[in-house]
Structure formats: structure tokens, C-alpha cells
A and B are shown apart, each in its own frame.
Chain A
Amino acid sequence: MSIIVQRRSLLLAGAAVALVPATAWASPDLGKPAPLFTGTDTNGKSWSLAELKGKVVVLETTNHQCPYVAKHYRAGNMQAQQREATAKGVIWLTVAASAPGEEGFVNASQANELTKSRNAAPTAVILDPQSKIARAYGATVTPHMYIIDAAGILVYKGGIDSIPSSDTADIPKATQYVRVALDQVLSGKQVAEASTRPYGCSLKYGRNNA
């Protein structure tokens, strides 16, 4: 008779699954092929992850008005890491993921202006006004960081560093997760801290297409 009791939970669980709405998107798994995407950068150039095989790729979601993004640009931390990485042959893609009308939305010329004024040095800034790339990667915040190795495998996801604050004074004290992980990827090692807590402003997905 007790069998029936156990079956009940199964039955209810089945019903529960049916109720989970399709809008819940998931964070991609580490160690698996990273979600493919294509996007257009601020100079009209098209980028496709599939074509970047053989290169290590860094994704950085951004919203220049977000205080946490501003923290790392104000202190020069983000630009410094972009330079270090690209000097080693890494493709660094900054993804402007805010939807139109939301905080941090930029058009191509505004984005280029920001790159110039902040002295930023990513390989390219991809415009993602429909937040397609952000959604594919389950990005929740800006900056949300991802590293994809030369084989197209997702090897890091999480925060830029270990101290979640908006205070630039915390940057020198923090572990720069992305820098550490990149070094490990480039020297063929396993990434030790491959999933960390991302922190920042909520990613500004469009209100109606969420």
C-alpha cells in the first residue's frame, strides 16, 4: 500500500513541471559548448561565436550607467584587463545588452563615443538591444562575465571580481576572477574558480519581451 503514497508525489511532481512557465531561462552549463550567437558590432561588423573557434573569447555584459560597471571603468580596471587579454590574442567582446528605453541603451555612435572617452580596449562592442546574447547566457547583471575556450567550451561564468561593492577602493583588495581564470585558460589549466557570484545592476531586459 505504501507504494501508492510514493506514487502520489510523482504524480504531483508531474503536474508541477507542467506549471513551470517557458520564460524561465537557464544559466548555461560549464564544461559544455557555449551557446552560439551572432551579433553586429558598433562598426557594422558581424561576429559569430562559431567562427571564433580556436580563439579564447571573453564576454562582458555592460550598461555604462550602472554604478558597478562605472566602478570598474572609473578605476581603469576593466580597460586594463581588456588590454592584457587582447595583447595575448584573446577576443574580448563587450555586449551592450540594455533594451531600448532602458538604462544603458546605446546606439553605435554613442557606444563608440563611450569607448573613446573611457579609453576602453575591447576587441569589439556588440550591440544587443534585444538582449539575445544576454538571454542565451542567462546573464542577470552588468557586468556579467563569461570565458569561452578555444574549443568553444564555456569555462568561466560569474562576476568580474570577488568584492561585490560599488566602491573603487575595493578593487585592489579583490581577487580579479576573470584575470585569474584567463591566465589558467591560456596556460592550458583547469579554471579553479569557474563559477562565481556575479554582482551588479540587474540586466535591463526589455519590459515586454522578458
Chain B
Amino acid sequence: MRRLLALLVLLLPVWPAFAQPVVKTDNVRAELISEVAEVKAGEPFWVALRQTLRPHWHTYWKNPGDSGLPTEINWTLPAGVKADPIVWPVPTLIDVGGVTNYGFQDDVLLLVKITPPADLAGPLALVASANWLVCDDVCIPEDGKFSLSLPVGPAAKPADGATRALFDKARQAVPMESPWPTRFGLAKSGDPTLIVEVKGLKPDTISNVYFFPAEWGPVASMAKQSASVTADGIRIPLKKGDAKGGPPQQLSGTLVLTEKTGDGVHRQAFDVAAKLDPSFVPTAQPIAAAGGEQLSFAEALLFALIGGLILNLMPCVFPVLAMKAAAFARLAGHEKSAMRRDGLAYTAGVLVSFAAMAAAVVALRASVGEVNWGFQFQSPIFSLLIAYLFFVVGLNLSGLFEVGGNFAGVGQGLTARSGATGAFFTGVLAVVVATPCTAPFMAAALGFALSQPAPQTVAVLLAMGLGLALPYLALAMTPALQRLMPRPGAWMDRLRQFLAFPMYASAVWMIWVLTQQTGPDGVIYALGGMILIAFAIWLLRLGNQGGTASSIGGWLRRGLAAAAVLLAFAAAFKIEDSPATAASASGGPATGVSFDGWDHYSRARMTEAAAAGKPVFVDFTAAWCITCLVNERVALETTATRKAFEQAGAVKLKGDWTNRDPEITSLLKELGRAGVPLYLYWAPGADRPKILPQVLTEALIVSELTSSSQAKR
């Protein structure tokens, strides 16, 4: 008997303390639970119908899909008490022999907000009758009556920890409002295609995208979905549903996706309400699968070719081309074969450069995982060197110096070489010069090429190169066109001198790009470097004009010139040290990271604040990281968390890894992390930070902050 009693006592804690509003059927254990043990009059609180299901059985979401029925709760409440509709968690897709259902398995909490009146007295009796359909292969409609009596007190008293944890988990399973613009278009067939404009996404990290339509009618749930993810957003072609009537004006539902972050895989859900975009008419389905893809790839090549042609008109490519035209005019009267060789060499130069870039892109993509066009412009050193190059080419065009053997090694020097070699390097120069000038345009256009498998990437880039080379190639190959060229004369020199100015303008533009990366300091280094380079050229020119190369003066001048050039290039290293701002001019994503209420992360700042005994919270994030964004919305930027941060006197630092800031990369590596999100918390006086989970909750942060501040006392 005593043993039996002991057993009973042991079993007791399993049952919550309050009355048991449980209904048990063969397939479901359903229970009405409350997040508060004691209610405060006038203060809303949450209850939930918890369904614990037999393995493999499921109940249904608000839109059950092709069959099934959602769970319903009908409340009988005292006067003045209000119950909101069910807040549904994210459903899962359940395939029952080809019939698509949206529902829940294992364990689900259907949240309901209850608002008692301000004049509530006595215990609050919540009475509900609920019915649900529970299915495996077969379906069984079930129902139950539930009642829950909650005492009323001066303050709301939370339920036990286990129950609160259930509610916390349930709230995490509720989709958040989509932060992105969403729209949909209707194809001629009436099939809708949903577009979620998430800029800067990394396609390889997003998978399992599915749109759960909120209601029966506009979308056929039976049709399989195959979403595509690009840097511009998520595109989900859908099948129209069976609803009669006009085309839908709005498409509501829940978007679910899986994001692979550096250290884990997270399922995220967003409620979207897309408006009809009449201007967007998706053209997808009638194309036969393989043929259609071929066709559009061919089209992509064609448009890349046209894009390359347009590059010729870009302000900084134009001078290079005009240079070439001038050289060409000089060639006029030469043999046709010489011209043809020249044109082919130039084309080869352009194509080889584009191929080299394509190879770099493919290789980088293989090692880094993703690459933006103009990725090289995220490096301020590159911007600086290109600015120098523009400047030097400009000086040459102005006539400050003629290129001789002294400058072999500078691209311009090579281009001045006679014959095919010169033509080849003019082609290379045209590409080098064209790329930065057009990076802002190309960033969008070549997103396509970059998202393709390697052969396509190379093919599209080569098509663009061919486009760039085409006008000159055509000229070299067609005597009829050559006759249209003006005769060589004094105009050529004047044109050449004039062309220096667009070149200088390009240099100025490059310096502006540089300041976007480095801040105002970049101007000093770049302009200073240019003076040094001009000075070096002047020195060398003196050497060319008089004196012997072997004289001491000659060596001195050369030494000085070399020192000046070295100094100019040293500026590059100085620039590398200065802090880069978040977004570079070309590669940065459209949406930035918000620093509102946060300080910029630096290692020094973090260690200083931690050493000073302050609690420090560090958030490493990136504009393209969805999980980061979700954490910010649901955990980091809520009123309760903000208040907790304030009360704890925490130092909040945010590191923006959008452009893979090396300082952050090194810290991630130290901590054995491959990417963001990463959250660090230094409790006051701690000698090392605690790494928080990649999925944050408000409760988790608040408890970290309060427990450590209590420990301090």
C-alpha cells in the first residue's frame, strides 16, 4: 500500500496542477491549456487547444487542401469575455496517395487569445466545444467538450514552466508577417505566379519553398510547386484553382522555405498577401520543357551580344575604342590582310579577357559559393588601381608622354606595340576599362549568367565579349566599311587629346566608388597617388629627352620615379586598413542592415566593453540572411527585448557581413562558424562570450540578460 502511494506521488507531477480539461479519443489526446494560472481582469492572455496525435495521423490547417476539414472551436464564454479566432501554426504538406493535405502531425497547439472584461470577478470559466477531423488513410471526425476554470487575481500569474515553454514553442511556429513586397501575375491560362521580392538572396542557401494558399479556390493545392530562387527574389508558379468567377485580386497564404545558414538549417514561414500585378503576365507553361530552355538560352546569348555592343558606347570604353579607330585609320592603305589580322587580334584580346573573367567567376563560385558581378569592386584596392589606370591612359591621350620601352608592363604600353600584339592588348584594355564602367549595369544583367552552370556562364560572358569586339571586327573585315573611315590627319591628334577628358572623368568616377568603400580618406590617397604617378612620368620623360641613360642623373631620376610609383601603390595598402563601409557601389544588395539602436561592431569595441564589465550582445548579420531577419523581428527588436537590453545596460553591437567583412570572417573562423547568423553574449565580467543559438526567442534573450544581471548582484 505504501509502495502504491509512493508511486502515485511520483506520478503526480506529470499532471498539471489545474483541472484537467482533456478529451481522449483513439487517435487524439486533446487538451485546453492556458498560459496563465491566474487571470487579471481586462488583461488578454493566451489559451490553446493542444492536440497530441497518434503517429502518422493528422489534423487540418485552416485550408485543409484537397480534402479534410480544419479544426473548429466554438466558445461558450461569460458575458464580456472575448475569444479571437485561432492563430494557426505553419502547416506541413501531407501527401495521402496523391491527394495533397495541409495539416499537423504529432503535436500541435492552436492558439486563441482570450480577452476578459475589466470588471471580471470570480473564477473565469472557459467552455469550448471543438470538432476536428483526424486522418491517416481513413478519416474520423471527432469532437470534445472542454472546460477550464481560471482564478482571477490582482496580477496575471504565469502557468508552470513546461506549459509556458509549450506556448513559446507554439508562437515560434506561427508565421510572421512577410517583410517583402509580394505580387502575383496571371498567365493567359489563368495560372498565377507569385513573386516575393527578396533582394540579394543566395539561391543555393534557400530550398523547399512552398506556398500554402490560405483558402480553397484561387490555387490548386494538388499541383506540385517548383519555386525558383534568384538574387532578385522567389518566384513560385502555381496552378489556378477551381473557384469560379473572375481572376483573384489577392492571393493570401503562407510561404515556407528552408534556409541553410553557416551552421544549420532553419525552416521559416511568412504570411503573404500578394496583390494582382496586371502588368506581370508570366509566360511559362506552353513551352516544351527541353526546347523551351534551349530557346531561352539562345535568347540569353543574343541579348548578351547586344549588351556587349552597347558597351562600346559607355563613356570610358569609348576612348579606348576611338584610340583603336585612330590606329586603324593609320593602318588605312595597308594590306587588307594586315587589317584583318589586327581586327582578329583585337577580338581575341577581348575574348580572352572575358574568358579569364568567366574563369575567375566560376572558380570563385566554386570556392566561395557565390559571386556577384563586379565582385572585384568590393575591393577598394582594385578601385584604386583602376583609377590610376584611367589617369595614366588619360595622361597618355593628353600627350604628356609617348609610350616607349620604359613603360612596358603598363597595359597602355603593350597596346602601343605594333601589329597583332598591340591589337590584342588593346582588346584586353577595352575589357579592363569597360568592366568597371559598366559594373552597375552589368551587376543586374549578368546576375543571369552567374546563376547558371559553368558552361552557360562562360558562354554568356563570351557572347558579351563578342558584342564588344564586333564593331571593330566588322570594320577590319569589310573593305566597304573601311572606305567610310575619314582619312588620317591632324584631326586624329585633336580627337586623341579630347578623348583624354572622358578618361579623366572615368578616373573621377572610380575615386567616387573608392570613397563609397573607404570613406573620405580614400580621396587623399587616390589623388596623392595620382600626383606621384604624374611626377614619375615627368621624371622619366626628362630622361628620354636628354642625357644618357647611364648617367648618374638618369639613374637618380629613375630611382625617384620608381619610389614615387611605389609610394602611390603603397596607398593601396593604407586603404586596405581603413574600415570599409557596408555596401560598395556595385556589389551591395539593395536592402541594407539597419543599425538603429545598435553600434557598429569592431573587435576592439567588443573586448573593451566586455572588459569594462558591461553585458555585451553582438549580432552578426547580413542583408541576405533570412534567418537573421526573422530573429530581429521576433526576438531582437521586440518591445520586451529592447526594454531588457536597456535595463541590463547592455552594449549592443552589430556586425554587417553582407560583404563578407574580413574582420568578421576571421572571428567567425575563430569560433568555428561558417557564416551568419551568429549571436554572442558576454555576461557582465565574463572572460569569454556565450554563443547563443541561431534561432532566437524573446524569452531566451530576456532570460540571458536577467539571469546574468542577477548573478552580478
Known: A165-B69, A199-B67, A207-B97. A5 touches B292 (CB 8 A): no
Q: How far does the Cβ of B69 sit from chain A's closest Cβ, in whole Å? A: 6
Q: Does B359 contact A (CB under 8 A)?
A: no
Per-residue contact bits, chain A 1-35, to B (CB 8 Å; 1 contact, 0 not): 11111011111111111111101111100100000
Which of B130-138, B246-254, B639-647 contacts its partner? B130-138
A12: chain B residues within 8 A (beta carbon): 228, 230, 235
Known: A16-B237, A16-B284, A66-B139. A203 touches B99 (CB 8 A): yes
> Is the beta-carbon distance between A141 and B66 smaller than 8 angstroms?
yes
- Looking at A16, A26, A138, A202, the one whose CB has the most chain B CB atoms below 10 A away is A202
CB interface residues, B 423-443, toward A, < 8 Å: 441-442
B68: chain A residues within 8 A (beta carbon): 201-202
Which residue on A lies nearest to B101, using beta carbons? Answer: A202
Known: A10-B283, A11-B448. A1 touches B441 (CB 8 A): yes
Q: Does B119 contact A (CB under 8 A)?
A: no
Q: Does A204 contact B (CB under 8 A)?
A: yes
Q: How far does the Cβ of B158 sit from chain A's closest Cβ, in whole Å? A: 37
Q: Does B226 contact A (CB under 8 A)?
A: yes
Which residue on B lies nearest to A164, using beta carbons? Answer: B69
Known: A67-B140, A204-B137. A14 touches B222 (CB 8 A): no
State which of B69, B217, B306 has its C-beta within 8 Å of the C-beta of A199: B69
Which residue on B lies nearest to A206, using beta carbons? Answer: B97
Known: A7-B299, A10-B283, A207-B97. A16 touches B226 (CB 8 A): yes
A165: chain B residues within 8 A (beta carbon): 69, 131, 141
Which of A47-55, A87-95, A113-121, A189-197 contacts its partner? A189-197
B131: chain A residues within 8 A (beta carbon): 165
A202 CA to B442 CA in the complex, in Å? 51
A157 CA to B135 CA in the complex, in Å? 24
> Is the beta-carbon distance between A23 and B98 smaller than 8 angstroms?
yes
A193 CA to B244 CA in the complex, in Å? 8
B101: chain A residues within 8 A (beta carbon): 202
Known: A30-B244, A141-B66. A18 touches B290 (CB 8 A): yes
Q: How far does the Cβ of A167 sit from chain B's closest Cβ, in whole Å? A: 8
Q: Does B444 contact A (CB under 8 A)?
A: yes
Q: How far does the Cβ of A35 sit from chain B's closest Cβ, in whole Å? A: 15
Q: How far does the Cβ of A198 sit from chain B's closest Cβ, in whole Å? A: 8
- Looking at B66, B140, B282, the one whose CB has the most chain A CB atoms below 10 A away is B66
> Is the beta-carbon distance between A102 and B224 smaller than 8 angstroms?
no
Q: Which bracket fits the contact residues of A?
A: 35 or more
Q: Which bracket fits the contact residues of B?
A: 35 or more
CB interface residues, A 170-207, toward B, < 8 Å: 193-195, 197-207
Per-residue contact bits, chain B 457-483, to A (CB 8 Å; 1 contact, 0 not): 000000000000000000000000000
Count: A-B pairs, CB below 8 Å: 166
A138: chain B residues within 8 A (beta carbon): 222
A194 CA to B244 CA in the complex, in Å? 7
Known: A13-B284, A24-B222, A27-B220. A65 touches B138 (CB 8 A): yes
Q: Does A158 contact B (CB under 8 A)?
A: yes
Known: A7-B296, A138-B222, A210-B97. A13 touches B289 (CB 8 A): no
> Is the beta-carbon distance between A195 and B237 smaller than 8 angstroms?
no
Q: How far does the Cβ of A206 sit from chain B's closest Cβ, in whole Å? A: 7
Known: A199-B67, A199-B69, A203-B67. A3 touches B303 (CB 8 A): yes
> Is the beta-carbon distance between B224 and A24 smaller than 8 angstroms?
yes
A102: chain B residues within 8 A (beta carbon): 97, 137
B177: chain A residues within 8 A (beta carbon): none
> Is the beta-carbon distance between A13 and B139 smaller than 8 angstroms?
no
Known: A7-B448, A16-B237, A17-B292. A67 touches B307 (CB 8 A): no
Q: Does A166 contact B (CB under 8 A)?
A: yes
Q: Does B300 contact A (CB under 8 A)?
A: yes
Interface of A is mostly: loop
CB interface residues, A 59-100, toward B, < 8 Å: 65-68, 99
CB interface residues, B 277-302, toward A, < 8 Å: 282-285, 287, 289-290, 292-293, 295-297, 299-300
A194 CA to B187 CA in the complex, in Å? 23
Q: How far does the Cβ of B463 sit from chain A's closest Cβ, in whole Å? A: 10
Known: A17-B287, A199-B69. A1 touches B445 (CB 8 A): yes
Q: Does B71 contact A (CB under 8 A)?
A: no
> Is the beta-carbon distance between B300 and A1 smaller than 8 angstroms?
no
Q: How far does the Cβ of A47 sit from chain B's closest Cβ, in whole Å? A: 25
> Is the beta-carbon distance between A8 and B307 smaller than 8 angstroms?
no
A201 CA to B96 CA in the complex, in Å? 10
State which of B137, B228, B300 has its C-beta within 8 Å of the C-beta of A4: B300
> Is the beta-carbon distance between B244 and A18 smaller than 8 angstroms?
no
Q: How far does the Cβ of A92 sit from chain B's closest Cβ, in whole Å? A: 22
Which residue on A lies nearest to B307, using beta carbons? Answer: A1
> Is the beta-carbon distance between A8 and B448 smaller than 8 angstroms?
yes
Which residue on B lies nearest to A99, using beta carbons? Answer: B97
Q: Does B26 contact A (CB under 8 A)?
A: no
A205 CA to B307 CA in the complex, in Å? 53
B628: chain A residues within 8 A (beta carbon): none
- Looking at A16, A20, A23, A68, the one whose CB has the most chain B CB atoms below 10 A away is A16
> Is the beta-carbon distance between B222 and A202 smaller than 8 angstroms?
no
Q: How far does the Cβ of B58 sit from chain A's closest Cβ, in whole Å? A: 11
Chain B interface residues toward A at CB < 8 A:
66-69, 96-99, 101, 131, 133, 135, 137-141, 193, 216-217, 220, 222-224, 226-228, 230, 232, 235, 237, 239, 242-244, 282-285, 287, 289-290, 292-293, 295-297, 299-300, 303-304, 306-307, 310, 441-442, 444-448, 451
List 12 A-B pairs, Cβ < 8 Å: A1-B310, A3-B303, A5-B444, A16-B226, A24-B239, A26-B222, A27-B222, A67-B133, A195-B243, A201-B135, A202-B139, A204-B137
Q: Which 7 A-B residue pairings sit nearest by Cβ, starting from the closest?
A: A210-B98, A18-B289, A140-B66, A202-B67, A13-B284, A166-B141, A8-B448
